Structure 1
Amino acid sequence: MADDSETVDHDSGADVGHDLDDERTTAPMSDYSARDVGVGFAVMLVGALIAFGIPLVAF
């Protein structure tokens, strides 16, 4: 059984990938480049092709 009386001053999961001084950080606030947008768009196109293209070709 875990000892709940122990206090933890450092949450190592909270300091990965963002500024610890910010009150709250979420993914949409993160910086992204034009390359990231292009990769996301390409992934969307492949997904749409799989979702709609394969059923259309099957008939």
Structure 2
Amino acid sequence: MSDDHHEEERPEFDPQHVDLPSKEPPLRSTAPQSDFTMSQVSTGAAVALVGLLLTFGVAFVLV
């Protein structure tokens, strides 16, 4: 049975001699920390308003 883990290519792990990566990982940006433009805020508000109108408008019409 063949596995794709390539065990023969992996060096043995030695906790006494840990080699750190040669370069830093890429910087990450998460939504709450990102800056927003007014265009993005306006688009989000419009989408939220349409969603609320559809949700409550359909419910109100059906009652």
* CA pair 9-42 structure 1, distance change in 2 beyond 3 A: farther
Amino acid at match of 2:35: D
Bigger Rg, structure 1 or 2: 2
Residue 50 of structure 1 aligns with which residue?
A: 54
Q: TM-score, normalised by structure 2?
A: 0.56
Name 2:5's counterpart in structure 1: 2
Where do 4+ consecutive residues of structure 1 move more than 3 Å?
3-6
Q: Normalising by structure 1, report the TM-score.
A: 0.59
2:39 equivalent in structure 1: 35
Aligned pair count reads: 48
Q: 1:2 to 1:37 in 2, by over 3 A?
A: same
Q: List gaps (5 residues or longer) in structure 2.
A: 12-20
Structure 1 unaligned residues grouped into runs of 5+? none
RMSD: 2.9
> 5 Å matches for 1:12-31?
15=26, 20=27, 25-31=29-35
For residue 5 of structure 2, give the secondary structure of its aligned residue in structure 1: coil
Percent identical pairs in the alignment equals 38
